[in-house]
Structure 1
Amino acid sequence: MLLTLWLSGCVTAPKPEAAHSESQRQSLWKTHQQQLKALDDWSLKGRLGLRVPGQSGSLSLEWQQNNGQYLIYLDGPLGQSVAKIKGQSGAVELEASGQRYSGVSPEGLLFELTGWDLPVSLLRYWVVGLPSPESDSNIQLNNQGYPALISQQGWQVEYLQYKDFSGVTLPARIKVRQGEVQATLFARSWELK
């Protein structure tokens, strides 16, 4: 037992990461932002935890983005298809429970069908770690120059973890919330094209 304690005392703690100055973080963010803005064809697979007043659950998520067009698959337990959302600017189509619905915006269509007010159009940017260019935002950067928090249109987007995917650092865990609505995204894989 004494040997174990002695050996554990010999293990060196990892050196804390050197703190960057604000100007260094801003410079890192500018470079990273340019890299992210070049991503217009990607796919993401992961899990989405959703909590809205009176309900909560977890869904499997597959999101394919190609420029302004997107295709999102949401599956429930045991791979059961919950919804397929296909859209582009000004038009969205949702398939669920054998029914097909269409609308002008994903937010409007989702609210009409569920009563949930979720910023689907903004998520396209938030999932890659960018604020939407459509409105003002406030960004707090972490020490590596990546967003730790984006505040936009009353929503708080907290970046809890980043990972390297195909040579690009992308969010692996995100929490989006406003009031009683909260969504947590766990990215298992990114494919960049």
Structure 2
Amino acid sequence: MKNTFRCLAAALPLLLAACVPAPAVRMKGDAGLLGEQAARERVLAGTDHWSLQGKLGVSDGKDGGSGTLQWTQDGERYEFTMRSPVIGKSFRLSGGPEGALLEGLDGGPLRGPDAESLMYKALGWEVPLRDLRAWVLGLRADSGPAELSFGANRLPSLLQQDGWNVDYREWDAARQPPVPTKVFADKPPYRVRLSIESWTFN
């Protein structure tokens, strides 16, 4: 099953090259910046019904994959569909508190206790989906202590949490509160690159 998606790695360098960032401004959070972030988090913490569309690249330093992504969050339930432009195939990850279901791979549907372990078992991808649900909104996850640095726009530039460095390179500042449009997460050797083309909030 892993071989099915290893051919996605051919497209990964193109996606990662398109996402190479310029040097970022990093400011440690003072009382004002942290207060503004806390206000953002209070507004967005209850936002459990949303969807995004974009491009996702994942690498473990050797193998990886990339493709278009549609992610829908409906409370505790989620649906995560990724399509490869290289091989024209897609897989769908869905679930909630009762467990996760992965469909579209060779060998038939797979079930597991949670999305993270199922993705790792099936594809060898370490994607922190539980934390990413918060990080993708520019929020600190509830998985433990977090350290924030801010950019010139007074929005998070770097979030360090649970062993991951979450790098925010672009934001949609037209929305209030603003939401990220480029989120790069690294925990060597693992890399996740998410470029968000559209947000929909319900």
TM-score bucket of the superposed structures, by smaller chain: 0.7 to 0.9
Write out per-residue CA displacement over residues 153-176 of structure 1, whole angstroms, 9 at most, x where no aligned residue: 111111111013654310000110
User: Paired residue for 1:96?
Assistant: 104
Q: Return closer, same or farther for 1:73/1:156 CA change in 2, 3 Å cut-off.
A: same
Write out per-residue CA displacement over residues 110-146 of structure 1, whole angstroms, 9 at most, x where no aligned residue: 1211223221211111111112113222222334442
Residue identity (%): 24
CA distance in 2, matches of 1:160, 1:89: 32
CA distance in 1, matches of 2:174, 2:50: 11
Stretches of structure 1 lacking an aligned partner (at least 5 in a row): 1-18
User: Paired residue for 2:75?
Assistant: 67
Write out per-residue CA displacement over residues 23-77 of structure 1, whole angstroms, 9 at most, x where no aligned residue: 2212211211112113110000000122223224421000000111100100010
CA distance in 2, matches of 1:54, 1:71: 27
User: Paired residue for 2:173?
Assistant: 164
Write out per-residue CA displacement over residues 72-120 of structure 1, whole angstroms, 9 at most, x where no aligned residue: 1000107933210001124000102361000001111112112232212
User: Paired residue for 2:187?
Assistant: 178
Letter in 1 for 2:96: Q
Task: Give secondary structure in 2 for the equivalent of 1:168.
Answer: coil
Normalising by structure 2, we get a TM-score of 0.78
Letter in 1 for 2:57: G
1:191 shift after superposition: 0.2
Who wins on radius of gyration, i.e. which is larger?
1
Matches within 5 A, 1:1-193: 22-77=30-85, 80-97=88-105, 99-164=108-173, 166-193=175-202
Alignment: residue pair count? 175
Task: Give secondary structure in 1 for the equivalent of 2:157.
Answer: strand
- Ranges of 4+ aligned residues in structure 1 off by more than 3 Å: 164-168
Q: Return closer, same or farther for 1:80/1:167 CA change in 2, 3 Å cut-off.
A: farther
CA distance in 1, matches of 2:174, 2:89: 27
